[in-house]
Amino acid sequence: MSQNMMGQLMRQAQKMQEKMKQVQKEAGEKVIEASSGGGMVTVRVNGLQEVLSVQIEPDMLDTEDLDMLQDLIAAAVNEGIRKSREMMEGEMKKLTGGLDLKIPGLL
């Protein structure tokens, strides 16, 4: 491989890295909502799979079925993270021109 080709590859890799950093930054600003129990528990998750908030309907706090409430919270959080991951995979496919790359630490 010639020096010129190697230099081009390095520049392309650097551009891709900069674009990936931008996608990550923007992902932190995107918010996904997911709920369980017919909206009894709602979570908000950003594109970095960070849970931003958990909202529980007051009626659920009156219940004596703690196990059900815990299951609803877990289900809503897992759904929020799943939706967030799908959104990020779509963004990464746009960045890579449709290639299905699994990049550690991003997805």
Q: Which domains does the chain have, with CATH numbers?
A: 30-107 (3.30.1310.10)
- 3-class SS at 23? helix
Q: Nearest Cα to 53, choosing from 66, 27, 35, 71? A: 35
Residue 105 has pLDDT above 70, yes or no: no
pTM: 0.72
Q: How far apart are CA 58 and CA 104, in angstroms?
A: 39
DSSP state of 44: E
DSSP letters spanning 50-107: -EEEEEE-HHHHT-S-HHHHHHHHHHHHHHHHHHHHHHHHHHHHHHTTT-----TTT-
Q: What is the pLDDT of residues 40-89, one digit of tens each?
A: 999 999 988 999 999 999 988 887 889 999 999 999 999 999 999 998 88
